[in-house]
Structure 1
């Protein structure tokens, strides 16, 4: 197994730790942020989420730079991304920090595009990530991190940055899903 695939696997292995940080009631205390409190476990989970998200860029860059792109990597990388983002969004709903309907739309889009990619793979076609898809990923990561941090540092000035970013991520999620299906509808139409 090459280094980029090991980096991707490390992202997958960080997900259970991330889940534990948000699910187990650690009594590490809270930080006062404006009028809100930020549990230290949420800060630790946000930091872990940001590190895990950064490995997505690192493994892809390293694989392309050193010509180490593999079929395993093409499978594991989007899987790791979807597992991390889905786990974070579901936990944010459980904590009351994200509306369930937004999360349902985001996760549904991920399933739909994954299905499209599977149909394309069956036809021998690899659907690469589009620029719109990458923008979707970046906005989702920023929104999730901001929500995990309870809108820090914007909570000091009462600016709802985290909520705005979540709706921007929702917009790009829908737009990129539409883009994938419009550009690749022939794959669905012509599949056997």
Structure 2
């Protein structure tokens, strides 16, 4: 197994650790500034999430640079991304930090686009990520980080950046999904 695939697998293995940290109930004294408070397990989960999310670009860069792109990597990389985002979103819903409908919109789009990519693979085509898909990922990661760290530092000035980021993520997720299907409508059989 090459280095790029090992990095992707590491991202997958970080998912349950992040979920555990978010969902455990520990009685450690939280970190507090004025009216802002965050638990140590949330801080650690956020740091691990940031590391995991940043490996997404790293594994692809290493694979392309060293010409070690493999079918396993092509399968694992998008799977790792979807697992990471879906698991953290579900944890955030459980923690009552994000509305369930936003998580459903994001996760549903990922399933739908994955299905379209599978249809394309059956036709012998590989669908590359669009610029909107890349923006979607960046906005989703920004939203998740804001939610993981309780909207810090914006909470100190009473600005709901986490709410703005959540709405932005939902909107760009829907738009990028529609864009993806419109551009690849020739793959969808209208009659069988």
TM range (shorter): over 0.9
Partners of 2:12 and 2:83 within 8 A in 1:
yes
Q: What is the CA–CA distance in structure 2 between the aligned matches of 1:191 and 1:57, rounded to whole Å?
A: 38
Q: What is the CA–CA distance in structure 1 between the aligned matches of 2:101 and 2:33, rounded to whole Å?
A: 27
Q: What is the CA–CA distance in structure 2 between the aligned matches of 1:21 and 1:122, rounded to whole Å?
A: 39
Structure 1 residue 151 corresponds to structure 2 residue 147: no
Q: What is the CA–CA distance in structure 2 between the aligned matches of 1:57 and 1:183, rounded to whole Å?
A: 24
Structure 1 residue 131 corresponds to structure 2 residue 131: yes
Alpha-carbon deviations, 1:43-97, whole Å to 9, x = none? 1101110000001011011111111111111110000000000001011111010
Distance 1:160 1:126, change over 3 A: same
Q: What is the CA–CA distance in structure 2 between the aligned matches of 1:34 and 1:74, rounded to whole Å?
A: 47
Partners of 1:33 and 1:155 within 8 A in 2:
no
Unaligned runs of 5+ in 2: none
- RMSD in angstroms over aligned alpha carbons? 1.4
Distance 1:34 1:139, change over 3 A: farther
Matches within 5 A, 1:56-135: 56-135=56-135
Q: What is the CA–CA distance in structure 2 between the aligned matches of 1:126 and 1:80, rounded to whole Å?
A: 18
Distance 1:33 1:89, change over 3 A: farther
Q: What is the CA–CA distance in structure 2 between the aligned matches of 1:26 and 1:58, rounded to whole Å?
A: 33
Q: What is the CA–CA distance in structure 2 between the aligned matches of 1:110 and 1:191, rounded to whole Å?
A: 24
The aligned residue for residue 173 of structure 1 is 173
Unaligned runs of 5+ in 1: none
Q: What is the CA–CA distance in structure 1 between the aligned matches of 2:187 and 2:10, rounded to whole Å?
A: 33
The aligned residue for residue 11 of structure 1 is 11
> How far is the alpha carbon of 1:26 from its aligned partner?
2.3
Secondary structure at the residue paired with 2:124? coil
Q: What is the CA–CA distance in structure 1 between the aligned matches of 2:45 and 2:29, rounded to whole Å?
A: 14
Partners of 2:23 and 2:95 within 8 A in 1:
no
